[in-house]
Structure 1
Amino acid sequence: MSRTQTEFTILPAYNGDSILIKTFDENKEEFIILIDGGTPSTFDYSLKKNLKGISKINLLVLTHIDSDHIGGLIRFLKNSLIDKIEIDEFWINQPDSGLNQTTNKKSLISVRQAENLKTLIKGKKPHSKIREITFEDNIINIKGLEFTILSPTVEIKDKFYEAWEKEKSLLNQENLETNISSSTVDYSKSLKELSKIDFKPHSSINSDIYNSSSIAFVLKCPDVNLLLLADSRAEIITESLKQLGYNTETPLEVDYVKISHHGSLNNTSQELLSLIKSSNYLISTNGGTASHKHPSRETIARIVYKTNRDEKSLNIYTNYKIADVKNKIGEFVNENDLEEGNWNIEHKNTFTKNDI
């Protein structure tokens, strides 16, 4: 099937991520990329219907093993739909261990799910290529599509594998829940005030190793450039961009930025944003959970009042209706916020170059 325009959709994935990209290669042949599958319910609610009619996924990326990214992929590989879809290649970072135990239901980081996924891949798609990804891979070119890898580093991947092995020893303990997001809410300050507060993440990279191990990259399609940050850490992406030669004077220019970790406070810094030039920012969340609410008002503030913004209007897009997100987390933005800063926020799921 031929294609001449990239179209990508940020699927409604509850508190998770699932991104379906329909682009085209150097021969103008359609090239399909699926990044994450959201929560288990995401497959039933949105992913399944978006995959109907697709006979081939050229690349499937599991950015990391959080259940709000992997759950929908497990449901996909267990569904009969998988038998109708060819998958050329998987990008997935996980040790090839023989774990057969079960994990506590409270665990947000599911080693069991990840092992289950690898078993399903080997059983359902034994001829598909499985590839580990790190910053050391630099630029990967697939049929003219260019992937510049920003995260994880080799060192982070190795620490993630160490944490994986330690997790196995905790599987029968009562509480495995990992604090991966801040639930701090402060709606009293203006966005301009919040933008001036120094970035101070609530957890270290090592204590947030699963998010830190996220596969994040720049995707250069023939007609559009995307920065896809998964749940990556700002410190890691910042350092990667600097190593690639980007700075505040010559930032990375992309058409769209998928903001890290659903707009959480811990994952987007002023310094990182200063290394990026874009007018369009995407946030994937339904508002989060009772204990982990997002997006953070501080993250919105940092985007709107980034230091090296040009005069163009800036757009923030959410994949759920803003009113629905507000119903869960409160007035994370209000009408007064929109009076300054030359910006807009709206609900939108599907994007093309023509939307810029």
Structure 2
Amino acid sequence: MYPARNGDAFLVDAGGPHILVDGGFASTYQDYIATDLALLAAHGGRLNLVICTHIDGDHIGGLLEFFSLNGPSERRGIEVGAVWHNSLRSLPTSTSRPGNVNDRMLLEAIRRRGYQDAAVASANPISARQGSSLGKLLRQYAYSWNSGDGTNCISDGTAPLSVGGNVGLQVIGPKPERLEALRDLWLREVRKLGYSGSLDASDLLDDAYEMWCASAPPPTVPTAVPIAASANLRLADVYTPDTSISNGSSIAFIISAGPTRLLFLGDAWAEDTVAKLKAMQPEAAPLVFDAIKVSHHGSLRNTSVELLSVADSPCFLISSDGSRHGHPDFEVLAEIVDRPAPFERQLFFNYETAATERLRAHASRSGTAFTVRVVDNKWIQVGGVQID
């Protein structure tokens, strides 16, 4: 779990196959990921799969850096078996108006603006040299993109993928309508700016779409009830469902390696995850995973009491330095550890925050043991192996 500031970046070693999930910001790749991938390549390894969960600056920036530097197929820095990434060309379109000079000028203006707006509040800005969308880079360098050329989307209807040995992935989100909602939002916004042209696939359109999505302003949501340090409100008192269309488009999935199962939630909406997990486990008992990557950096808008009633684990991963929106929210962390369980829970963070300090002083309401761990760019072992 890389130090990605307020973003996400994970490298999974599934006993041979390796999976890179998001890349944080460009400097996350430069400072941490690049060294690990160079070492992996030097030992004859490869990335079996790279996943960009959704188009947000704190998830996609490091992947832009990686794919822009990894080179064409004849001289890759490290081989990549497949890439999952939902861009505009991954969705069917019904609009086919002819374009004009003004349309192209508008798209060029969005492209020139680049990804910078997504990282204004971060200490890790995306590299200024990034002038292309991730989709364009994947096509330019001939990667296997969404099992082809990127014209298919990754959604909860995607067939399970085997990445070697007994390692596989099952997609549990997003629903296709979440991807279509993001596309439609983008189209409405550029129409307001005067765009009247086609949505037929093109590099320029891919660039404009991704760069706009990565820096789009978040939706207006109800303000959470302020929680004083001595307050005793529970997650159920303050939970407000996420309405970010971008977050709703996150790829959420389960990695299975033999009996070991890891649940990665990106920034997915809790309600979508609950519906899918309930369909997988009709019984009242929760699904127990070997590790759960908590959605949206521990935001109280993406983890509900109901979600925690259908999914549990002895290992929770929370990625955030608290620099944006105060993530993780203490109410989420307390709800995780307050529930009874037949095992001790370990909560792994990549930064100390006000929430981790407060959690250390918290006593589980159920008496279930838990441990707060802050890891410094070290491997976290899960799945039948004691975490050390």
TM range (shorter): 0.7 to 0.9
1:209-228 paired onto structure 2 within 5 Å = 209-222=245-258, 224-228=260-264
CA distance in 1, matches of 2:11, 2:188: 33
Instruction: Tell me whether 1:50 sits opposite 2:77 in the alignment.
Output: no
| 8 Å contact from structure 2 (residues 225, 238) kept in 1 | no
Partner of 1:15: 6
* Deviation at residue 261 of structure 1 after TM alignment: 0.5
* Deviation at residue 179 of structure 1 after TM alignment: 4.7
Partner of 1:344: 371
CA distance in 2, matches of 1:251, 1:84: 42
**TM superposition score normalised by structure 2:** 0.74
* Deviation at residue 77 of structure 1 after TM alignment: 1.8
| 8 Å contact from structure 1 (residues 224, 255) kept in 2 | yes
Q: Secondary structure at the match of 2:237?
A: coil
Which runs of 5 or more residues in structure 1 are unaligned? Answer: 1-9, 25-29
Moved more, 162-171 or 274-283: 162-171
| 8 Å contact from structure 2 (residues 70, 78) kept in 1 | no
**TM superposition score normalised by structure 1:** 0.80
Decide whether aligned partners of structure 1 residues 54 and 133 sit closer, same or farther in structure 2, where only a CA change above 3 A counts: same
1:166-185 paired onto structure 2 within 5 Å = 166-169=188-191, 176-179=216-219
Q: Which amino acid in 2 is paired with 1:68?
A: D
Q: Secondary structure at the match of 1:84?
A: coil
CA distance in 1, matches of 2:220, 2:276: 22
CA distance in 1, matches of 2:356, 2:344: 25
Decide whether aligned partners of structure 1 residues 159 and 239 sit closer, same or farther in structure 2, where only a CA change above 3 A counts: same
* Higher Cα Rg, which structure: 2
Instruction: Tell me whether 1:276 sits opposite 2:307 in the alignment.
Output: no
CA distance in 1, matches of 2:277, 2:349: 25
| 8 Å contact from structure 1 (residues 147, 218) kept in 2 | yes
Decide whether aligned partners of structure 1 residues 164 and 346 sit closer, same or farther in structure 2, where only a CA change above 3 A counts: same
Q: Secondary structure at the match of 2:36?
A: helix
* Deviation at residue 263 of structure 1 after TM alignment: 0.3
Moved more, 140-149 or 11-20: 140-149
Q: Which amino acid in 2 is paired with 1:147?
A: L
CA distance in 2, matches of 1:332, 1:177: 30
| 8 Å contact from structure 2 (residues 19, 49) kept in 1 | yes
1:170-319 paired onto structure 2 within 5 Å = 176-179=216-219, 186-189=227-230, 193-197=233-237, 199-201=239-241, 203-204=242-243, 208-222=244-258, 224-247=260-283, 249-289=284-324, 292-306=325-339, 309-319=340-350
Root mean square deviation of aligned Cα:
3.2
* Deviation at residue 114 of structure 1 after TM alignment: 10
Instruction: Tell me whether 1:134 sits opposite 2:151 in the alignment.
Output: no
| 8 Å contact from structure 2 (residues 341, 368) kept in 1 | no
Deviations 1:45-85 (A, max 9, x none): 21111211223211110000000000011111222578311
